[in-house]
């Protein structure tokens, strides 16, 4: 490994990893891979997968590393003959500056185009903007937050479950089991979660306040994988309202 080296402190949550490559038979590198582990060297935090080409670096997306934490990384390289070489496990530490700037989030009606526009500022600050693969919101990693599901994008937005808010987004169905669309999480006794249950073929919203759980489901609707759907979740003094739209058919649930 060229970076990080053993014992180095990584000062970014989007680090650029780099390795060196050499071959006694002068065979060109055809692909490479980085795997980041927890400090135990076993539990995988991030796997770049095979990256085709002779380059020797890549950027890890945000959302995988925690601040002030030890990790280990290993690089793999494959030559033109299919022979794989790899580095030793390299231990590093994370420590980056956390901004105190609070992002602003506004829903703007667009009556001309019959839609809502979402506008936010200081998106890269902390609370911040995380991009990563996978369809499941990770409360243990992101703390209090709202999961914006399309393409694995996550927005860490501190809100309480009693706040007034409106969220509008689209989602591409990727899991044959549970697809989490929105997760507003304060703690295990206070949260709101909206998801599509592929096995049960319905949307489900679970609202937990002070440990009291209410669950509400949509009517049965079979949605094939890779379907592009839209949803909105809105809370005001009247209650919590869910809107889902699939293939032009819209369903509204009310007052959870």
Q: Which CATH class is domain 105-253?
A: mainly beta
Find the helix or strand (DSSP H, E) in which 140 lies. helix 139-142
CA atoms in the 13 A half-sphere facing the CB of 239 = 9
On the question of pLDDT at 251 being above 70, the answer is: no
Q: What is the mean pLDDT of residues 26-35?
A: 92
pLDDT tens-digit map of 100-152: 444 445 555 555 555 555 554 443 333 333 333 333 333 323 333 344 433 33
9-94: CATH architecture: Sandwich (2.60)
Do residues 243 and 252 make contact, with C-beta atoms less than 8 angstroms apart? yes
Mean pLDDT of all residues in 83-109: 74
39 φ/ψ sector (left φ>0, alpha ψ -120 to 50, else beta): alpha
pTM of the model: 0.43
Residue of 52, 12, 19 whose CA lies nearest to 35: 19
Domain locations in the chain?
9-94, 105-253
What is the per-residue pLDDT for 169?
73
Within its chain, how far is the Cα of 70 from the centroid? 21
Q: What is the pLDDT of residues 155-171, one digit of tens each?
A: 334 445 566 767 777 77
């Amino acid at each position: 490994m060229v970076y990080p080296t053993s014992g180095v402190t990584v000062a970014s949550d989007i680090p650029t990893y780099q390795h060196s490559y050499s071959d006694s038979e002068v065979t060109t590198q055809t692909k490479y891979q980085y795997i980041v582990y927890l400090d135990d060297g076993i539990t995988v935090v991030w796997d770049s997968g095979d990256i085709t080409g002779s380059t020797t670096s890549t950027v890890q997306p945000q959302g995988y590393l925690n601040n002030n934490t030890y990790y280990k990384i290993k690089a793999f390289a494959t030559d033109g003959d299919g022979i794989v070489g790899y580095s030793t496990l390299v231990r590093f530490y994370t420590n980056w500056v956390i901004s105190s700037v609070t992002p602003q989030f506004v829903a703007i009606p667009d009556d001309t185009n019959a839609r809502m526009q979402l506008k936010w500022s200081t998106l890269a600050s902390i609370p911040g903007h995380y991009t990563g693969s996978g369809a499941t919101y990770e409360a243990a990693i992101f703390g209090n937050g709202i999961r914006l599901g399309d393409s694995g994008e996550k927005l860490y937005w501190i809100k309480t479950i009693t706040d007034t808010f409106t969220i509008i987004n689209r989602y591409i169905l990727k899991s044959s089991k549970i697809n989490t669309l929105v997760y507003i999480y304060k703690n295990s006794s206070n949260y709101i979660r909206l998801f599509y249950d592929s096995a049960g073929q319905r949307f489900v919203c679970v609202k937990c306040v002070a440990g009291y759980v209410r669950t509400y489901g949509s009517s049965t609707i079979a949605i094939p994988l890779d379907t592009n759907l839209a949803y909105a979740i809105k809370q005001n003094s009247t209650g919590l309202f869910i809107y889902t739209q699939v293939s032009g058919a819209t369903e509204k649930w009310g007052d959870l």
